[in-house]
């Protein structure tokens, strides 16, 4: 067995998995609170990448250095994605809180289609090259054949974001309110939690994370188009389900497992079926363990 | 005044929101930036007025709910009353039938072709309507069965030279078989998980067609598929369009007939009960496994058949015709028309397919409008344009009152 | 005579929690049995076990239909159990809201009819006759329970009390030998409860259906039931006639400070 090849696949899986985990967190948080699959989540990720691209291009023309471009573009992407997430919730989901389950789901699909086409019409349907904003670190050079600087940055950023999120949810006021709302909406309202605000915050945080994922992937892959959100969203959702939807550590674990599966699958089996691995995994997990790896099974109350 | 301030805030917010995507366009190769400020003004003005409309509709919806809770009679919308009033409905139906039958005599083969297209979507819509509208199982991978039908004809014809008419029932059966194949693993899944798995299933079928070159000839697809014959007679290029049009009319009528009978039968009632409350449905003695599987199978059958017509009409199939967007279009037209209602689905299909064809200006915005329509419909009129009319029964004793 | 329903040493655990702990229960032919106990005692869980919604962890549930043999129904699918002759209602009404009253009842006939896909499409003589029979049967049933004025109304538009009664009719349409009613009087006023009392007696007397009901309204329970079973923490703590239960110190203790007057 070629260990170097194995290590290479492992690290590339970890990179991919980190991105999936970042997006999956948004799905899982929203699902945990309002039991809705936010189909438009992948689109927000795409919008984040586009905003980043636009801002980065302007700043490049102004002649800033790469690092400050990266930071400013990421900031813009995060702010805009969060704003989109907030608005989407207000328009497409809030009026449907009391509706039957199918209604918000269809509304979400509609929102996703709308946003894709909005970006396609307003911008372009072609692939756009994305500048590589992550610099090559000198100290990484000896290892460049195994892992590049962008991969390292992606993995590290994800770890930092994870820790930040855990602290936010465990120890802050809004985090507590979120956990309370996820447990029992009615009860949380009675003890004075502003449900509307909590839900809005959930969307804002979730979509901001997706934007981070969007920028990082775009730097890594080097091109974007209006359609990237669809597949990324689907896979991130798979990751969320894999780990147990509603569970935050589950989303991270699910993302990593999915990334590794894909990486090893393409490396050792066939590169043609990269996406098929993800879907197969999704279908298998839903059939045999619908609650996911870390999720608890719940029995419906009769 | 408060309303104006509200709308003004909304308009500012949307101008902010759409600013980078709408206004700035970068050309990364020539390193130029195009600023399209005029768009910002459109967005501002547009969202200012739309926000009034939005709030008006929300208040109207809320007062509607209150009225319903107070037990007041709610006025049916015009479209609904039209279809319930038999004196209006039957003459209109007659007119529509005459128009459809004579259509190719008055219009060009191009127009006929568009109508055929619309009819194909009617049939697809009616098929998906069994699964989504009646049984309440949100299937986002419906296009897979369409692909199965199309490839069924393409491959059987390529390898064995089997003709259109022989493949039609085979494809219907294959559709049903794939429906059951998808149905089995998802039996236990709840609504939203089901949606994702069916979506994954649809994508998987497409990816397999794209990558399994030996079987499906990959992305380049299969060409030179023969058009249908009429008892062995092959029509000329132009006439074959008209022939396919009539063929589609007959198939659509068959679909309407069968779906109508199914929905008013013991099985149709079981589907609706399943949609309404799965647990109560089981407790009332309905085998939900069997009910779900029949819904998947009978829904997929029609897609299989339309797939064959599609392959015969375009004489060429490749995986690119069977993307998720196709499933989304079919779903959105039944959502717009009215889930569970046959007339609603037909109407939805015609609006969705014909409108963009004839209003070339909006063609580019077609999917944008579809998406927005889905959201707006769900928020303001979840039952669609025409809601499902429940069958009523009359009894001697109830007439006496 | 063997009892219609016989529950023996039933166990139902959710994770570590024992919701039902070694319960025994019998319902005889034409008997009205009431199941009472504080909230969370495991009454509805017992219903869910009997009707197949939960699969019991241990123990046995047997049924006896007059001429058939004694058979065990643990873990059968809910529809099989309904087919074998037990039908239920739900604590929080579970009608089919967008179907008409008649259609709701017709669903109850599903397991007693056979038309398949071919029958539905061809609508042959046999199917038409079956449909006609179903409609007539259901209408007669509605007439008997005096719900016939609502026949074409959608279930969601009915007044609350009517919805409760409709759920009972829907269950009756499955032609059961035993009806399981989960808090049929919940949310009803005095007048409606009185009517319900008469209705349940009528069902038992005229249709020969045995009744097992969960109820918190003690007045109703005392007037209706021939046998009362008291549950607490998943166990049966007492059983007897209304008179015996009223004076049973164990029951009084379990209910102390827990007077339920819904």
Return the axis-axis angle of helices A173-183 and A3-34, rounded to nearest 10°.
70
Q: Do B267 and C120 touch (CB under 8 A)?
A: yes
Q: How many Cβ pairs closer than 8 A exist between chain A and B?
A: 170
* Rg of chain B on CA atoms, in Å: 24
The more confidently predicted of residues C65 and C242 is: C242
Residue C66: strand, helix, or coil: coil
Tokens for C62? 């047997």
- The residues facing B139 across adjacent strands are none
Q: pLDDT band for position A274 (50/70/90)?
A: confident
CB-nearest partner of A276 from B17, B207, B367: B207
What separation in angstroms does the CA of C262 have from each of A151, A296, B399, C224? 63, 34, 39, 16
> Alpha-carbon distance B87 to B312, whole Å?
40
| Residue A298, min C-alpha distance to chain C (Å) | 10
Q: Do B390 and C111 touch (CB under 8 A)?
A: no
Residues B127 and B257 in one domain: yes
CB-nearest partner of A111 from B140, B325, B375: B375
pLDDT in tens, chain B (401 residues): 888 888 888 888 888 888 888 888 887 777 788 888 888 888 888 888 888 888 888 888 888 777 666 655 555 566 666 666 667 777 777 888 888 878 777 778 788 888 899 999 999 999 999 999 999 898 989 999 999 999 999 999 999 988 889 999 999 999 999 999 988 888 878 767 888 888 888 988 998 898 888 888 888 888 888 888 777 777 777 778 888 888 999 999 999 999 999 988 999 999 999 999 889 999 999 999 999 999 999 999 999 999 999 999 998 999 999 988 889 889 888 888 888 888 889 988 988 888 777 776 677 788 888 888 889 988 888 877 777 766 677 765 544 33
Q: Do B28 and A129 touch (CB under 8 A)?
A: yes
Looking at B38, B69, B100, which one is the last position of a domain? B69
Residues B49 and B178 in one domain: no
What does the pLDDT look like over B237-253, one tens digit per residue?
Answer: 777 888 888 899 999 99
Could you tell me the residue range of the domain that residue B149 belongs to? 108-380
Looking at B69, B99, B128, which one is the last position of a domain? B69
> Alpha-carbon distance A39 to B326, whole Å?
17
CB-nearest partner of C174 from B273, B284, B388: B284
What average pLDDT does range A273-289 have in this prediction? 80
Q: Quick check: C96 contacting A, CB < 8 Å?
A: no
CB-nearest partner of B284 from C82, C119, C123: C82
Residue B150: strand, helix, or coil: helix
Q: Quick check: B279 contacting C, CB < 8 Å?
A: yes
Q: Do A302 and C14 touch (CB under 8 A)?
A: no
**Domain-located, residue B218:** yes
> Alpha-carbon distance B130 to C87, whole Å?
28
What separation in angstroms does the CA of C162 have from each of A123, B277, C166? 58, 19, 6
Q: Do B200 and A238 touch (CB under 8 A)?
A: yes
- Which residues in chain A are contacts of C44 at CB distance < 8 A? 302
Residues B129 and B236 in one domain: yes
Q: Quick check: C83 contacting B, CB < 8 Å?
A: yes
- Which residues in chain B are contacts of C98 at CB distance < 8 A? 272, 276, 388, 390
Residues B290 and B212 in one domain: yes
Q: Quick check: C93 contacting B, CB < 8 Å?
A: no
Q: Which residues of A215-234 are buried (b: 16+ CB within 10 A; e: fewer)?
A: bbbbbbeeebbbbbbbebbb
Interface probe with B: pick from C85, C108, C117, C134, most Cβ of B within 10 Å? C117
CB-nearest partner of B285 from C53, C79, C134: C79
pLDDT of residue C115: 84
Q: Quick check: C54 contacting A, CB < 8 Å?
A: yes
pLDDT at residue C148 is higher than 90: no
Q: Hey, how many other C-beta atoms are within 10 angstroms of the C-beta on C232? A: 20
Per-chain mean pLDDT for chain C:
87
What separation in angstroms does the CA of B341 have from each of B86, B264, B376, C61? 17, 12, 19, 43
Nearest CA among C26, C28, C24, C27 for reference residue C8: C24
- Which residues in chain A are contacts of C53 at CB distance < 8 A? 302
pLDDT of residue B232: 72
Residues B125 and B193 in one domain: yes
Q: Do B280 and C90 touch (CB under 8 A)?
A: yes
Contacts of C64 (CB under 8 A, 6+ apart): C2, C3, C4, C5, C6, C70
CB-nearest partner of C79 from B282, B298, B388: B282
Residues B217 and B273 in one domain: yes
Q: Hey, how many other C-beta atoms are within 10 angstroms of the C-beta on C137? A: 18
What does the pLDDT look like over B355-366, one tens digit per residue?
Answer: 777 776 677 788
Q: How many Cβ pairs closer than 8 A exist between chain A and C?
A: 7
Q: Do B281 and C111 touch (CB under 8 A)?
A: no
Kindly report the backbone phi and psi dihedral angles of residue C61, in degrees, each rounded to the nearest multiple of 5, phi listed first: -130, 120
Touching partners of C (3+ C-beta pairs < 8 Å): A, B
**Domain-located, residue B99:** no
CB-nearest partner of B269 from C88, C106, C171: C106
Q: Hey, how many other C-beta atoms are within 10 angstroms of the C-beta on B395? A: 17
Q: Do C90 and A299 touch (CB under 8 A)?
A: no
- Looking at A142-146, B59-63, C48-52, C242-246, which range is the least confident one? A142-146
Residues B166 and B235 in one domain: yes
Chain CA centroid to CA B347, Å: 10
| Residue B378, min C-alpha distance to chain A (Å) | 6
What does the pLDDT look like over A105-123, one tens digit per residue?
Answer: 889 989 999 999 999 988 8
Tokens for C46? 């017992």
What does the pLDDT look like over B120-141, one tens digit per residue?
Answer: 999 999 999 999 999 989 898 9
What average pLDDT does range C78-82 have in this prediction? 90
Residues B240 and B329 in one domain: yes
What number of H helices and E strands is found in chain B? 18, 2
Q: How many domains does chain B have?
A: 2
pLDDT of residue B242: 85
Q: What is the ipTM of this complex?
A: 0.89
- The residues facing C144 across adjacent strands are none
Residues B204 and B288 in one domain: yes
Task: Provide the sign of the torsion angle of the four alpha carbons B287, A296, C39, C160, taken in this order.
Answer: negative
Domains and CATH numbers, chain A: 14-288 (1.10.3470)
Q: Quick check: C169 contacting B, CB < 8 Å?
A: no
pLDDT of residue C262: 41
Residue of A nearest to B58 (CA): A95
> Alpha-carbon distance C233 to C18, whole Å?
8
Q: Do A121 and B365 touch (CB under 8 A)?
A: yes
- Which residues in chain C are contacts of A302 at CB distance < 8 A? 44, 48, 53, 90-91
| Residue A102, min C-alpha distance to chain C (Å) | 15
Q: Do B287 and C53 touch (CB under 8 A)?
A: no
For C121-175, the DSSP string reads HH--HHHHHHHHHHHHHHHHHHHHTT-GGGTTSBGGGS-HHHHHHHHHHHHHTT-
**HEC string of chain A?**
CCHHHHHHHHHHHHHHHHHHHHHHHHHHHHHHHHCCCCCCHHHHHHHHHHHHHHHHHHHHHHCCCHHHHHHHHHHHHHHHHHHHHHHHHHHHHHHHCCCCCHHHHHHHHHHHHHHHHHHHHHCCCCCEECCCCCCCCHHHHHHCCCCCHHHHHHHHHHHHHHHHHHHHHHHCHHHHHHHHHHHCHHHHHHCCCCHHHHHHHHHHHHHHHHHHHHHHHHHHHCEECCCHHHHHHHHHHHHHHHHCCCCHHHHHHHHHHHHHHHHHHHHHHCHHHHHHHHHHHHHHHHHHCCCCCCCCCCCCCC
User: Contact at 8 Å (CB) between B305 and B175?
Assistant: yes
pLDDT of residue A133: 78
**Domain-located, residue B123:** yes
Q: Quick check: A302 contacting C, CB < 8 Å?
A: yes
Give first-to-last CA distance, chain A, whole Å. Answer: 54
> Alpha-carbon distance B147 to B222, whole Å?
13
What does the pLDDT look like over C176-204, one tens digit per residue?
Answer: 999 999 999 888 888 889 999 999 999 99
Nearest CA among A209, A235, A185, A280 for reference residue A17: A235
What average pLDDT does range C1-5 have in this prediction? 81
Chain CA centroid to CA B115, Å: 15
pLDDT at residue C153 is higher than 60: yes
Which pairs with CB-CB distance under 8 Å and at least 24 residues apart come from B93-96? Answer: none
Topology given in CATH for the domain delimited by C1-85+176-262: Rossmann fold (3.40.50)
Residues B114 and B64 in one domain: no
Residue C179: strand, helix, or coil: strand
| Residue B240, min C-alpha distance to chain A (Å) | 35
Residue of B nearest to C93 (CA): B280
pLDDT of residue C261: 46
> Alpha-carbon distance C104 to B283, whole Å?
13
Q: Do C102 and B393 touch (CB under 8 A)?
A: yes
Q: Where do the structural domains in chain C lie, given as residue ranges?
A: 1-85+176-262, 99-173
> Alpha-carbon distance A259 to A10, whole Å?
9
> Alpha-carbon distance A255 to A19, whole Å?
8
Residue of C nearest to B340 (CA): C98
CATH of residue B118: 1.10.3470
What separation in angstroms does the CA of C194 have from each of A213, B278, B320, C201? 64, 32, 67, 11
Touching partners of A (3+ C-beta pairs < 8 Å): B, C
pLDDT of residue B398: 45
Q: Quick check: C153 contacting B, CB < 8 Å?
A: no
- Which residues in chain C are contacts of A299 at CB distance < 8 A? 14, 54
Q: Hey, how many other C-beta atoms are within 10 angstroms of the C-beta on B381? A: 16
Q: Percentage of chain C surpassing pLDDT 90?
A: 31
User: Contact at 8 Å (CB) between B189 and A286?
Assistant: yes
Residue B232: strand, helix, or coil: coil
Q: Do B26 and A53 touch (CB under 8 A)?
A: yes
């Amino acid at each position: 067995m070629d260990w170097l090849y194995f290590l290479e696949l492992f690290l590339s899986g970890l990179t991919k998995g980190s991105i999936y985990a970042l997006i999956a967190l948004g799905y899982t948080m929203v699902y945990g609170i309002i039991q809705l699959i936010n189909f438009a989540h992948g689109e927000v990720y795409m919008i984040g990448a586009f905003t980043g691209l636009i801002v980065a291009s302007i700043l490049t023309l102004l002649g800033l250095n790469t690092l400050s471009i990266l930071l400013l573009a990421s900031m813009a992407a995060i702010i805009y994605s969060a704003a989109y997430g907030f608005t989407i919730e207000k328009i497409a989901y809030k009026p449907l809180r009391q509706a039957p389950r199918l209604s918000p789901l269809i509304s979400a699909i509609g929102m996703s289609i709308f946003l894709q086409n909005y970006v396609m019409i307003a911008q372009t349907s072609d692939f756009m090259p994305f500048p590589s904003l992550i610099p090559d670190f000198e100290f990484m050079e000896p290892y460049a054949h195994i892992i590049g600087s962008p991969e390292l940055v992606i993995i590290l950023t994800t770890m930092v974001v994870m820790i930040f999120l855990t602290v936010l949810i465990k120890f802050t006021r809004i985090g507590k309110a979120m956990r309370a709302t996820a447990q029992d909406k009615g009860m949380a309202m009675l003890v004075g939690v502003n449900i509307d605000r909590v839900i809005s915050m959930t969307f804002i945080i979730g979509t901001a994370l997706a934007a981070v994922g969007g920028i990082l992937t775009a730097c890594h892959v080097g091109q974007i188009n209006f359609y990237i959100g669809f597949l990324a969203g689907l896979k991130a959702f798979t990751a969320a389900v894999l780990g147990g939807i509603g569970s935050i550590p589950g989303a991270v674990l699910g993302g990593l497992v999915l990334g590794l599966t894909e990486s090893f699958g393409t490396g050792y089996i066939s590169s043609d079926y990269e996406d098929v691995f993800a879907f197969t995994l999704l279908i298998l997990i839903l059939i045999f363990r619908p609650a996911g790896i870390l999720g608890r099974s719940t029995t419906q109350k009769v | 005044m408060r309303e104006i301030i509200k709308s003004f805030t909304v308009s500012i917010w949307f101008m902010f929101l759409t600013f980078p995507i709408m206004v700035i366009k970068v050309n990364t190769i020539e390193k130029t930036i195009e600023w399209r400020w005029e768009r910002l003004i459109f967005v501002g003005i547009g969202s200012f007025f739309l926000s009034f409309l939005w709030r008006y509709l929300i208040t109207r919806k809320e007062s509607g709910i209150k009225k319903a809770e107070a037990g007041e009679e709610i006025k049916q919308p015009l479209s609904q009353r039209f279809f319930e009033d038999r004196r209006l409905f039957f003459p209109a139906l007659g007119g529509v039938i005459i128009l459809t039958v004579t259509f190719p005599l008055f219009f060009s083969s191009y127009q006929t072709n568009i109508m055929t297209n619309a009819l194909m979507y009617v049939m697809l819509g009616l098929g998906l309507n069994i699964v989504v509208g009646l049984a309440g199982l949100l299937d986002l991978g419906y296009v897979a069965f369409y692909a199965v039908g199309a490839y069924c004809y393409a491959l059987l014809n390529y390898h064995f030279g089997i003709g259109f008419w022989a493949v039609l029932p085979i494809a219907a059966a294959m559709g049903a078989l794939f429906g059951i194949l998808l149905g089995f693993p998802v039996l236990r899944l709840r609504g939203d998980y089901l949606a994702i798995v069916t979506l994954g299933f649809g994508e998987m079928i497409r990816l397999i067609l794209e990558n399994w070159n030996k079987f499906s000839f990959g992305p380049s697809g299969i060409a030179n598929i023969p058009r249908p014959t009429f008892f062995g007679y092959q029509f000329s290029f132009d006439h074959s369009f008209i022939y396919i049009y009539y063929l589609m009319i007959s198939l659509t009528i068959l679909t309407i007939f069968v779906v109508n009978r199914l929905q008013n039968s013991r099985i149709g009632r079981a589907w609706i009960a399943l949609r309404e409350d799965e647990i109560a449905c089981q407790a009332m003695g309905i085998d939900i496994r069997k009910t779900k599987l029949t819904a998947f199978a009978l829904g997929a059958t029609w897609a299989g058949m339309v797939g064959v017509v599609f392959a015969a009409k375009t004489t060429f199939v490749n995986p690119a015709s069977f993307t998720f967007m196709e499933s989304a279009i079919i779903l959105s037209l039944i959502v717009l028309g009215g889930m569970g209602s046959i007339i609603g689905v037909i109407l939805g299909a015609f609006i969705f397919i014909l409108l963009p064809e004839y209003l070339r200006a909006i063609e580019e915005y077609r999917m944008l409008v579809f998406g927005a329509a889905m959201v707006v419909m769900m928020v303001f009129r979840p039952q669609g344009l025409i809601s499902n009319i429940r069958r009523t029964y009359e009894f001697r004793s109830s007439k006496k009152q | 005579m063997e009892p219609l329903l016989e529950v023996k040493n039933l166990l139902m655990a959710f994770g570590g929690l024992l919701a039902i702990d070694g319960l025994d229960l019998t319902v005889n032919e034409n008997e009205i049995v009431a199941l009472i106990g504080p909230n969370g005692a495991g009454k509805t869980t017992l219903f869910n076990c009997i009707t197949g919604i939960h699969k019991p962890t241990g123990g046995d549930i047997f049924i006896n239909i007059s001429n058939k043999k004694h058979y065990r129904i643990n873990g059968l699918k809910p529809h099989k159990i309904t087919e074998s002759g037990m039908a239920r209602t739900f604590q929080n009404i579970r009608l089919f809201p967008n179907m008409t009253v008649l259609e709701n009842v017709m669903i109850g006939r599903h397991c007693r009819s056979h038309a398949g896909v071919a029958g539905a499409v061809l609508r042959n003589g046999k199917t038409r006759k079956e449909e006609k029979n179903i409609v007539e049967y259901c209408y007669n049933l509605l007439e008997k329970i005096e719900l016939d004025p609502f026949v074409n109304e959608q279930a969601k538009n009915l007044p609350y009390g009517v919805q409760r009664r409709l759920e009972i009719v829907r269950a009756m349409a499955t032609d059961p030998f035993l009806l399981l009613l989960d808090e049929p009087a919940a949310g009803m006023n005095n007048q409606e409860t009185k009517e319900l009392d008469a209705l349940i007696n009528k069902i038992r007397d005229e249709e020969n259906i045995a009744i097992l009901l969960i109820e918190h309204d003690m007045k109703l329970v005392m007037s209706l039931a021939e046998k009362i079973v008291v549950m607490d923490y998943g166990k049966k703590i007492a059983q007897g006639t209304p008179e015996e239960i009223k004076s049973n110190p164990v029951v009084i203790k379990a209910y102390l400070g827990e007077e339920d007057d819904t």
